Amino acid sequence: MIQDNKSLYTIKTSNYNIKLINSEETHAVRLPILRAGQPIKSCIFEGDNLETTVHLGIYIHDEIIGVCSFFKNNNKNILIANQYQLRGMAILKNFQGKGVGSKMLNYGEKLLKSKQTEIIWCNARESALGFYKQLGYNIIGEPFDIASIGIHYIMFKNL
Ligand SMILES: CC(C)(COP(=O)(O)OP(=O)(O)OC[C@H]1O[C@@H](n2cnc3c(N)ncnc32)[C@H](O)[C@@H]1OP(=O)(O)O)[C@@H](O)C(=O)NCCC(=O)NCCS
């Protein structure tokens, strides 16, 4: 277990690693961060087990601290053929704001670019807009509400 010890939360390039994981491994982070208080089945996303879906986990001391997933899904407002949708982007609370999310997303962007993906887009929570903007994502269209989660914006990035 990761102890409640601040020094362990210091992320150095040498002590984290990012790897491909399966959909069930995402639940350890999806549940507390994105579906708090909801049943585990709320962590299952449509398309999670498709061959084209990519799940990433970021680990420190062999414990998963963040996840994100990429689904081969085109947004009709974006007229470019090769798109992936980012979903389930989440970092455990004690590790947020330390550069972990941006490291993992950068890794995913490079991986998808190497597979000819041109655009990554996502439905971004209003509270995460700053994070995506920092990483070069732009808003397209008007904000919309997702029941029980709140206001979202479509954001996209050209790879
Ligand atoms: C949003 C989230 C994934 C970002 O990951 P993170 O590891 O905390 O972000 P990082 O530390 O890599 O931040 C990268 C940059 O974005 C900024 N940033 C991060 N979260 C931000 C936020 N919520 N609002 C504004 N800016 C933010 C950071 O300040 C940092 O900028 P800097 O390089 O100038 O310091 C993470 O905080 C999280 O899991 N939040 C809760 C779940 C969530 O909202 N997920 C997104 C669903 S769409």
- pLDDT per residue over 110-135, tens digit each? 999 999 999 999 999 999 999 999 99
**Residues with a CB atom less than 6 Å from ligand 1:** 33-34, 89-91, 96-102, 124-125, 127-128, 130-131, 134
Residue pLDDT, tens place only, 80-101: 999 999 999 999 999 999 999 9
Tokens of 44: 């299952």
Domain 6-158: CATH superfamily, name plus number = Gcn5-related N-acetyltransferase (GNAT) (3.40.630.30)
Q: How far is the CA of 128 from the centre of ligand 1 (A)?
A: 6
Mutate which of 131, 156, 157 for ligand 1 pocket (most atoms within 8 A of beta carbon): 131
Q: Ligand 1 center to residue 82 CA distance, Å? A: 26
Q: Residues near 148 by Cβ (< 8 Å), separated by ≥ 6?
A: none
Q: What is the distance between the terminal CA atoms of the chain, rounded to a whole angstrom?
A: 36
Predicted confidence (pLDDT) at residue 1 exceeds the cutoff of 80: no
**Binning pLDDT at 50, 70 and 90, where does residue 155 land?**
very high
Query: Edge-to-edge strand order for the sheet containing 83-91?
Result: 16-21, 54-60, 63-71, 83-91, 119-125, 150-158, 138-146
DSSP 149: T
3-state helix, strand, coil in the chain (%, to 5): 30, 35, 35
What's the pLDDT at 7?
Answer: 42
- The string of pLDDT tens digits covering residues 41-88 is 999 999 999 999 999 999 998 899 999 999 999 999 999 999 999 999
Domain residue spans of the chain: 6-158
CA of 1 to the centre of ligand 1 (A): 24
Band the pLDDT of 148: cuts 50, 70, 90: confident
